[in-house]
Amino acid sequence: MSRAQPEQQAPPVQRLRVRYAKRGRMRFTSHRDFSRAFERALVRARVPMAYSSGFNPHPRISYAGASPTGSASEAEYLEIGLAQVLDPADVARTLAGSLPPGLDVVEVADVATARTGGLTELLQASRWRVETDLPVTTARAGVTDFLALESVPVERMTKKGLRTFDCRTAVLHLEVEDAEVDAAGRPGSTLDLLLRHTVPSVRPDDVLTGIRSCSSLPLPDRVLLTRLAQGPLTPAEDGLEDPLSAAPAPG
Amino acid sequence: MTASLFPRLEPRLSSVSKPIQYVGGELNSTVKDWDCAPEGEETVRWSLMYPDAYEVGLPNQGVQILYEVLNERDWILAERTYAVWPDMEAVMREEQIPQFTVDGHRAVRDFDVLGISFATELGYTNMLNALDLAGIALHAVDRGEDEPIVLGGGHAAFNPEPVADFIDAAVLGDGEQAVLLISDVIREWKGEGRPGGREELLRRLAMLGSVYVPRFYDVTYGEDGAIEAVVPNRPGIPYRVTKHTLMDLDAWPYPAKPLVPLAETVHERFSVEIFRGCTRGCRFCQAGMITRPVRERSISTIGAMVENGIRASGFEEVGLLSLSSADHTEIGEMATDLADRYEGTNVSLSLPSTRVDAFNITLANEFSRNGRRSGLTFAPEGGSERMRKVINKMVSVDDLIDTVATAYSHGWRQVKLYFMCGLPTETDEDVLEIAELAKRVIATGREVSGRNDIRCTVSIGGFVPKPHTPFQWAQQLDHETTDERLRKLREDVRADKKYARAIGFRYHDGRPGIVEGLLSRGDRRVGKVIEESWRAGGRFDGWSEHFSYDRWAAAAEVGLAGTGVDLDWYTTRGREQDEVLPWDHLDSGLDKDWLWSDWEDALAAGEDPDGPAGEVEDCRWTPCYDCGVCPEMGTDIQIGPTGQRLLPLAVV
């Protein structure tokens, strides 16, 4: 008996980009946890997925730059390939009903009408909210010391071992907000951080580590990281554009 | 009212491994108000524990079924709790966070009942750890009025004597109805203002007949160390506690709302139990003995459960569970109709346990129609024909070879074979025959398929004698001999260059089996050993990286000091017919005289494999052989065929 070649699968007829949020306790889902949950949600929602070819066909899903386990996010992105053309708003609705609360679909957009460029290419930087229990004045002093430097090396344990890299250059904007209590009324400070996606990637916790290495900032007891937005940088590199916004009309 | 512990847990979650296992929020999980009962009525609250890690405990069918059955009542609240890993335990002890449920993050100590499902005895130390973390008194006698009733269930609860010091009660048998009966008793007692305190509640539970309350029985020991008598110590308490049997499984189609975890777990599939019980009569098999009689679900119910489960969970793999799934009277129709229904989708079906003699290629083809050919697994259990007669699993070598030949000629490349080592009367030769069998399997596979990439994996488990089986009197093989036999077997296979690379070996050393043997057939004196082992750091004994034989051996030395009995006495010692066994007062329905004569038949078959000690056949298709269960329990076999077929699903 000869080994049969696997059946070739038809290419997707529509590609959709999904923006989703990781809220509340769901911030503890790892990327692997999320992808499993998402694939099951697609089955429950009966989304007609296109499949990859091969002996073990997989639904066509590409993920872009997942946030670290433990950090919340309002702006995670992925792309799915469908075997049928559907209204993106319908897909958003059925998917939202099939995911556990806290893993929330925010927006679904058709790639055909989106701005040009691959998803990974479009996601050039992230805006983070970093909430800590440190007083505003303490945090401001640390940030000032940090911003005065041109490069701040930090170490982090990665899958490839302990690595040292610069965490300063990727920081496009960093500011301590005036508010002295968080949304839950607890005293502390909130940092607004615009971070360019680089290789190796600099994470917001690396920036905190960097600030502590060059200032007298104490170790916070409580840190909550939330990715607020991701997207292409504005021409002045001081803000983000919406990666799902429709392509500008030609001319 | 009890507050959520989550705000105290949350800041530390990023510091532990796989934090998602502690946050709950699974699809189809339920969080109810603490006072969920209608106005003016009592709420009964259960925390359900599977005493192992979340990744093992979450998929457990028993817990999922009880969770759903209980939560369907508007006056009952049920939440789940699992064993926490050592890194989380350290955080909890440091922050003084008690054992919590993953649903509402409520303290386990605040519930009315802590129900613990014991699928295996190796969860006992995890139970002690959970009690300690929960702030519940370790010993049942020390528990105060505000502490939960600690209630054991599951197969290991058919001999709960080793944990008799720690549990308040044990339920014998099927749980679906039993938990509701227990809830009724608790509701009534609470509604009356808790007359007589927990002692009275336990008395009322004991009067149900299926609930065993160890403190109401006194155990005395003779000079030889064996039990002299087990006697109720107060009026009205039944001499024997009988198991609960659920009839008409079609009326209980659970789980209907399967829990879908975010974390990765050991079984990433939806399972439907197609029947409960087994009367094949394998003498080593506790599950087959204590779950009699066979009760099938009908093909229509199974079809509906499969469809509902896929829709509700999003799982694409469906397991049709039972103790021997190919024995269902409508398995052929089920396989064809389900394969028709899900043709062209990614839904795959699997039969987790199939007997060699019930296997047929049509069935196997239907189950792999969508193109996925996972390996086939068979469990001859005994390496030699003599051994298979001793255990009453009469599969001939020729049957096995024919079966695998068919499989290999139809495109399967991989066959897994399960065996046991250390069975009664076993010798080195019996085990070495496993090698011959595996080689024949490969040779046949190569011949019929004309290919060289044929594989056979041999998995071997150590035999542990279990209560309520004909082998309950058997000597357990010491771990040194077990290891030596397995070493010889491995050498034998490796020595044959023609086959060595095609045969994979999976086995564990014999020492965990000895501890399991102690906990399986132990009596109340073993409680001290368990406590000692836990105090010495014992946790997660089912995990080889956490299990320590030396810790258990040392705990047995200390715990059994002064009793005149030791680890060997419980494990490698054979029992006589007139010995009072620790579980004799717990009635699985099996007639002890029948068990003994079956044990004698086993030994006779071992002496003379071709002699008159014949096979015990299956009462589903031959006359009743008087095991005692049906008349004792007032039950009957419930099997098809119903003659019904599954209709294609309407396309939505």
Task: Pick from A22, A28, A47, A182 the residue to mutate for testing the B interface (most B CBs within 10 Å).
Answer: A28
Q: Are A65 and A1 in contact (CB under 8 A)?
A: no
* pLDDT band at residue A2 under the 50/70/90 scheme: very low
d(C-alpha B552, C-alpha B545), whole Å: 14
Q: Within its chain, how far is the Cα of A74 from the centroid?
A: 8
* pLDDT band at residue A251 under the 50/70/90 scheme: very low
Nearest CA in chain A to B411: A1
* Whether residue A186 has pLDDT greater than 50: yes
Domain-embedded: residue B422: yes
Complete domains list, chain A, with CATH = 14-121 (3.30.70.580), 124-231 (3.30.70)
d(C-alpha B47, C-alpha B78), whole Å: 6
Which residues of chain A lie closer than 8 angstroms to B263, CB-CB? 33
Cβ contact, residue pair A40, B263, below 8 Å: no
Q: Are B379 and B353 in contact (CB under 8 A)?
A: yes
- Residues B94, B50 share a domain: yes
CA distance B75 to chain A (A): 25
Domain-embedded: residue B549: no
Cβ contact, residue pair A43, B449, below 8 Å: no
Taking residues B304-308, report their average pLDDT.
Answer: 97
- Residues B312, B205 share a domain: no
* Whether residue B652 has pLDDT greater than 60: no
Cβ contact, residue pair B316, A26, below 8 Å: no
Q: Does B26 touch chain A (CB under 8 A)?
A: yes
Residue B323 Rama label (left phi>0; alpha psi -120 to 50; beta): alpha
d(C-alpha B564, C-alpha B562), whole Å: 6
- Residues B290, B238 share a domain: no
Cβ contact, residue pair B23, A101, below 8 Å: no
Residue A193 amino acid letter: L
Q: What is the pLDDT of residue B513?
A: 97
Q: Does B594 touch chain A (CB under 8 A)?
A: no
* Whether residue B435 has pLDDT greater than 50: yes
Task: Pick from A33, A53, A182 the residue to mutate for testing the B interface (most B CBs within 10 Å).
Answer: A33
* Whether residue A161 has pLDDT greater than 90: no
- Residues B470, B388 share a domain: yes
pLDDT tens for each residue of B344-370: 888 888 887 678 877 778 888 888 876
Give the bridge partners for A108, in sequence order: A18
Q: How far is CA B472 from CA B157, B161, B278, B282, B577, in A?
A: 15, 15, 18, 13, 10
Which residues of chain A lie closer than 8 angstroms to B27, CB-CB? 37, 40, 100
Q: What is the pLDDT of residue B68?
A: 98
Cβ contact, residue pair B310, A40, below 8 Å: no
Q: Is the peptide bond before A200 cis (omega within 30 degrees of 0)?
A: yes
Domain-embedded: residue B249: no
Domain that holds residue B449: 269-509+585-633
- Residues B90, B165 share a domain: yes
Residues 6+ apart with CB under 8 A from B398: none
B651: exposed, middle or buried (Cβ count in 10 Å: 0-12, 13-18, 19+)? exposed
- Residues B411, B473 share a domain: yes
Q: Does B15 touch chain A (CB under 8 A)?
A: no
Cβ contact, residue pair B14, A69, below 8 Å: yes
Q: What is the pLDDT of residue B364?
A: 83
Cβ contact, residue pair A28, B411, below 8 Å: no
Q: What is the pLDDT of residue A169?
A: 96
Q: Interface of chain A against chain B, CB under 8 Å?
A: 1, 25-26, 28-30, 32-34, 36-37, 39-44, 46, 57, 69-70, 98, 100-102, 221-222
CATH no. for residue B406? 3.80.30.20
* Whether residue B650 has pLDDT greater than 80: no
Which residues of chain A lie closer than 8 angstroms to B19, CB-CB? 28, 69-70
CA distance B315 to chain A (A): 6
Q: Are B416 and B459 in contact (CB under 8 A)?
A: yes
Pairing of strands A125-132, A189-196: antiparallel
Using alpha carbons only, what angle is made at residue B524 by residues B522 and B528, rounded to the nearest 5 degrees?
95
Domain-embedded: residue B461: yes
Task: Pick from B4, B5, B20 the residue to mutate for testing the A interface (most A CBs within 10 Å).
Answer: B20
Nearest CA in chain B to A42: B314
Q: Are A35 and A63 in contact (CB under 8 A)?
A: yes
Which residues of chain B lie closer than 8 angstroms to A222, CB-CB? 11
Cβ contact, residue pair A70, B10, below 8 Å: no
Taking residues B385-392, report their average pLDDT.
Answer: 95
- Residues B477, B419 share a domain: yes
Cβ contact, residue pair B25, A102, below 8 Å: yes
Mean pLDDT of chain B: 94
Q: How far is CA B538 from CA A227, B68, B334, B347, B552, in A?
A: 41, 32, 45, 41, 8
CB pairs < 8 Å spanning A and B:
69
* Whether residue B552 has pLDDT greater than 80: yes
- Residues B145, B277 share a domain: no
Taking residues B457-479, report their average pLDDT.
Answer: 97
Neighbours of B266 (CB within 10 A): 12
Neighbours of B652 (CB within 10 A): 5
* pLDDT band at residue B377 under the 50/70/90 scheme: confident
Instruction: Name residues 292-331 of chain B within 8 A of A (Cβ).
Output: 310-316
pLDDT tens for each residue of B61-90: 999 999 999 999 999 999 999 999 999 999
Last residue of a domain, which of B227, B242, B257? B242
pLDDT tens for each residue of A67-89: 899 999 999 999 999 999 999 99
Q: Does B13 touch chain A (CB under 8 A)?
A: yes
In chain B, the number of structural domains is: 2
Which residues of chain A lie closer than 8 angstroms to B310, CB-CB? 43
Cβ contact, residue pair B25, A100, below 8 Å: yes
- Residues B331, B216 share a domain: no
pLDDT tens for each residue of B489-535: 999 999 999 999 999 999 989 999 999 999 999 999 999 999 999 99
CA distance A214 to chain B (A): 24
Q: Does B446 touch chain A (CB under 8 A)?
A: no
- Residues B383, B480 share a domain: yes
Q: What is the pLDDT of residue A247?
A: 64
Q: Are B262 and B102 in contact (CB under 8 A)?
A: no
Mean pLDDT of chain A: 91
Q: What is the pLDDT of residue B374?
A: 67
Q: Does B27 touch chain A (CB under 8 A)?
A: yes
CA distance B257 to chain A (A): 13
Q: Are B230 and B214 in contact (CB under 8 A)?
A: no
- Residues B336, B477 share a domain: yes
CATH no. for residue B169? 3.40.50.280
Cβ contact, residue pair A39, B314, below 8 Å: yes
* pLDDT band at residue B100 under the 50/70/90 scheme: very high
Using alpha carbons only, what angle is made at residue B427 by residues B426 and B429, rounded to the nearest 5 degrees?
120
d(C-alpha A4, C-alpha A166), whole Å: 51
Interface predicted TM-score of the whole assembly (ipTM), two decimals: 0.87
Domain-embedded: residue B85: yes
Q: Does B614 touch chain A (CB under 8 A)?
A: no
pLDDT tens for each residue of B264-282: 898 889 999 999 999 999 9
Nearest CA in chain B to A222: B11
Domain-embedded: residue B526: no
Q: Are B288 and B590 in contact (CB under 8 A)?
A: no
- Residues B200, B136 share a domain: yes
* Whether residue B46 has pLDDT greater than 50: yes
Taking residues B36-65, report their average pLDDT.
Answer: 97
pLDDT tens for each residue of B608-624: 988 887 789 999 999 99
Percent of all residues in chain B with a pLDDT value above 90, rounded to a whole number: 86
Residues 6+ apart with CB under 8 A from B21: B53, B54, B55, B82, B102, B263
- Picking from B144, B132, B116, the residue whose alpha carbon sits closest to that of residue B57 is B116
Domain-embedded: residue B118: yes
Domain-embedded: residue B518: no
CA distance A230 to chain B (A): 23
